[in-house]
């Protein structure tokens, strides 16, 4: 039996999220005033506090000019440090291993400067065949930068014929002695598959490789333990599950083992120790923390929304969110099953908050869902629709709307 609308509303009354903390856009079609928002894996909704807290930071500039660096209510010089603790807790890292800076692909490049150090006998990089294109372009350009041939050096992992996800054992089998770097998505952007990060990291190390993770779709979605899992490095963006706004400042992780080690890095004045930064010496004295990977002084008005958002995660806790996420996603799965083919793993331990379905004409269906039903789900070429019920603000009623709307628009 398909769940009823009343049933969905009852579940919402019993299993509340934190929707009241967010601005939910008005619907442009359908029977309800607000959208049923399933695109939080692409751009999370705006926390209500973001506007007022950003204005506070902006007004420090008006009131203090350059003195805001030290005298603002949230001083700009050490502003990024306000984000370090909450970001570290979110990804299971030590504060010294974590820094919020730049944007995701830039961070991947800066980290590969240190961690992709190819030799003739070991220069290959392993990625997913369905890696987000930015990651593919990044690793191919790194390979080329070091004078190797990307066609030969980049190994792209494909699921078995007829399957949509990668099996952990198949991934492990590919990690041979010629692999310099394994760089996979923690949660795949297209299929929503959650990788077995600790097992793959361990296998990569056993093969003598460096193992880095792109956590764009994992940060704020699933609990992570980067330090304990012995991950070498990781990077993530803050505008998807982290609700920090378009192009928001990203995060980076470098394992304690590598801090203070003699690794190549691209440096600027924010790479040097803050205590001696203004001595204006020609040589940097980088701290033995992830801060050493910073280059420029950070954009305060872009960091402000990240601070506001991380505070929400700190208060609610990722473990609590994950539990609600598992329930919500299972409920949506029940509603979509039978309507369209779900290509996301059925095992809750192998997925986060996203369900991807394979449908013909996904782009057109996504438009109809938006304008006829007020349901926001995005399409990815050529035939995938993605639905992310986000545990902070999505409701069972949103899921019910998505399930009934998709059933009606399916060809
Ligand atoms: C969203 C996403 C990106 C986006 O890169 P930016 O540098 O933030 O523009 C890159 N990689 C993956 C895996 C993503 O999901």
389 and 271 in one domain? no
| Sheet-wide strand order for 341-342 | 341-342, 355-358, 384-387, 378-380
- Helix %, strand %, coil % of the chain (to 5): 40, 15, 45
Q: Which of 260, 283, 315 finishes a domain?
A: 315
257 and 218 in one domain? yes
Residue range 262-293, pLDDT digits in tens: 999 999 999 999 988 888 889 999 999 999 99
Q: Which of 287, 315, 343 finishes a domain?
A: 315
CB 45 within 8 A of CB 22: yes
What pLDDT score does 49 carry? 98
User: Residue 189: CB within 6 Å of ligand 1?
Assistant: yes
Q: Which of 263, 291, 315 finishes a domain?
A: 315
359 and 242 in one domain? no
69, part of any domain:
no
CA 43 / ligand 1 centre spacing (Å): 11
61 annotated as ligand-binding: no
User: Residue 217: CB within 6 Å of ligand 1?
Assistant: yes
CA 254 / ligand 1 centre spacing (Å): 19
Nearest C-alpha to atom 13 of ligand 1 is from which residue?
Answer: 132
394 and 252 in one domain? no
pLDDT at 124 over 70: yes
User: Residue 123: CB within 6 Å of ligand 1?
Assistant: no
99, part of any domain:
yes
Q: What is the mean pLDDT of residues 38-63?
A: 98
What pLDDT score does 267 carry? 96
368, part of any domain:
yes
User: Residue 199: CB within 6 Å of ligand 1?
Assistant: no
CA of 105, closest atom in ligand 1: 7
Q: For 154-268, where are the E strands, in sequence order?
A: 154-157, 179-185, 210-214, 233-236, 251-254
What pLDDT score does 285 carry? 95
Nearest partner of 77 among 312, 243, 303, judged by Cα: 303
Residue range 336-368, pLDDT digits in tens: 999 999 999 999 999 999 999 999 999 999 999
Which ranges constitute the DSSP H helices of 65-119? 68-71, 81-91, 104-115
CATH number, domain at 300? 3.40.640.10
pLDDT at 133 over 70: yes
CB 184 within 8 A of CB 126: yes
223, part of any domain:
yes
Long-range contacts of 360-364 (CB under 8 A, 24+ apart): 360/411, 361/411
310 and 323 in one domain? no
149 and 30 in one domain? no
400, part of any domain:
yes
Domain range spanning residue 306? 78-315
- Could you tell me whether strands 36-37 and 375-376 are parallel, antiparallel, or unpaired per DSSP bridges? parallel
Mutate to test the pocket of ligand 1, among 101, 130, 132, 251 (most ligand atoms within 8 A of CB): 132
Q: What is the mean pLDDT of residues 19-27?
A: 98
Lowest mean pLDDT among 14-18, 186-190, 235-239, 279-283: 279-283
What pLDDT score does 344 carry? 98
Six-digit token string for 115: 């961690």
Q: Per the structure, how many domains does the chain have?
A: 2
In order of 200, 209, 213, 272, the CA distances from 206 in angstroms are: 10, 7, 17, 34
User: Residue 135: CB within 6 Å of ligand 1?
Assistant: yes
Residue range 307-316, pLDDT digits in tens: 999 999 999 9
328 and 278 in one domain? no
User: Residue 185: CB within 6 Å of ligand 1?
Assistant: yes
Nearest C-alpha to atom 10 of ligand 1 is from which residue?
Answer: 134
72, part of any domain:
no
| Predicted confidence band of residue 3 (pLDDT cuts 50, 70, 90) | confident
Residue range 185-203, pLDDT digits in tens: 999 999 999 999 999 999 9
60, part of any domain:
no
CATH number, domain at 403? 3.90.1150.10
Nearest C-alpha to atom 15 of ligand 1 is from which residue?
Answer: 216
344 and 237 in one domain? no
CA 250 / ligand 1 centre spacing (Å): 10
369 and 240 in one domain? no
% of the chain surpassing 90 pLDDT: 95
User: Residue 134: CB within 6 Å of ligand 1?
Assistant: yes
Across the chain, mean pLDDT equals 97
310 and 176 in one domain? yes
What pLDDT score does 2 carry? 67
DSSP 376-410: E-EEETTTEEEEB--TTT--HHHHHHHHHHHHHH-
389, part of any domain:
yes
How far apart (Å, rounded) are the C-alpha atoms in residues 392 and 315? 12
pLDDT at 179 over 60: yes
262 and 119 in one domain? yes
pLDDT at 389 over 80: yes
Q: For 198-260, where are the E strands, in sequence order?
A: 210-214, 233-236, 251-254
With the C-alpha atoms ordered 129, 133, 139, 144, is the resulting torsion angle positive or negative?
positive
Q: What is the mean pLDDT of residues 232-247?
A: 98
Residue range 134-157, pLDDT digits in tens: 999 999 999 999 999 999 999 999
What pLDDT score does 69 carry? 97
pTM score over 0.75 = yes
pLDDT at 1 over 80: no
Q: What is the mean pLDDT of residues 243-268?
A: 97
264 and 129 in one domain? yes
């Amino acid at each position: 039996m398909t769940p009823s609308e009343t049933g969905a509303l009852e579940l919402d009354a019993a299993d509340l999220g934190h929707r009241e903390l967010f601005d939910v856009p008005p619907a442009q079609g359908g029977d309800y005033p607000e959208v049923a928002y399933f695109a939080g894996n692409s751009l999370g909704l705006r926390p209500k506090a973001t506007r007022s807290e950003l204005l506070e930071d902006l007004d420090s500039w008006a009131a203090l000019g350059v003195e805001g660096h030290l005298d603002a209510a949230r001083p700009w010089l050490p502003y990024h440090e306000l984000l370090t603790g909450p970001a570290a807790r979110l990804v299971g890292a030590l504060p010294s291993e974590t820094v919020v800076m730049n944007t995701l692909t830039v961070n991947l490049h800066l980290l590969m400067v240190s961690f992709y150090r190819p030799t003739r006998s070991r220069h290959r990089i392993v990625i997913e065949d369905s890696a987000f294109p930015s990651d593919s372009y990044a690793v191919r350009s790194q390979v080329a930068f070091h004078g190797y041939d990307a066609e030969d050096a980049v190994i792209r992992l494909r699921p078995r014929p007829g399957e949509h996800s990668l099996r952990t054992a198949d991934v492990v089998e590919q990690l041979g002695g010629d692999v310099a770097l394994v760089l996979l998505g923690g949660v795949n952007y297209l299929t929503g598959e959650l990788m077995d990060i600790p097992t793959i990291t361990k296998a990569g190390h056993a093969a003598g490789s460096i193992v880095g993770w792109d956590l764009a779709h994992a940060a704020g979605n699933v609990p992570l333990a980067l330090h304990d899992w012995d991950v070498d490095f990781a990077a993530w963006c803050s505008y998807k599950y982290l609700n920090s706004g378009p192009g928001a400042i990203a995060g980076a992780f470098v394992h304690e083992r590598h801090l203070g080690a003699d690794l190549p890095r691209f440096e600027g004045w924010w790479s040097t120790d803050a205590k001696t930064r203004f001595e204006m010496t020609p040589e940097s004295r980088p701290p033995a923390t992830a801060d050493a990977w910073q280059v420029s002084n950070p954009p305060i008005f872009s960091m402000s929304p990240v601070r506001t958002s991380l505070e929400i995660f700190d208060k609610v806790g990722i473990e609590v969110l994950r539990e609600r996420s598992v329930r919500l996603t299972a409920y949506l799965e029940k509603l979509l099953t039978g309507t369209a083919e779900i290509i996301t793993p059925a095992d809750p331990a192998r997925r986060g908050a996203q369900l991807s379905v394979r449908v013909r004409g996904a782009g057109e269906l996504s438009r109809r869902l938006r304008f006829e039903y007020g349901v926001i789900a995005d399409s990815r070429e050529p035939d995938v629709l993605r639905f992310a019920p986000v545990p902070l603000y999505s409701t069972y009623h949103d899921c019910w709307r998505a399930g009934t709307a998709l059933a009606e628009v399916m060809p």
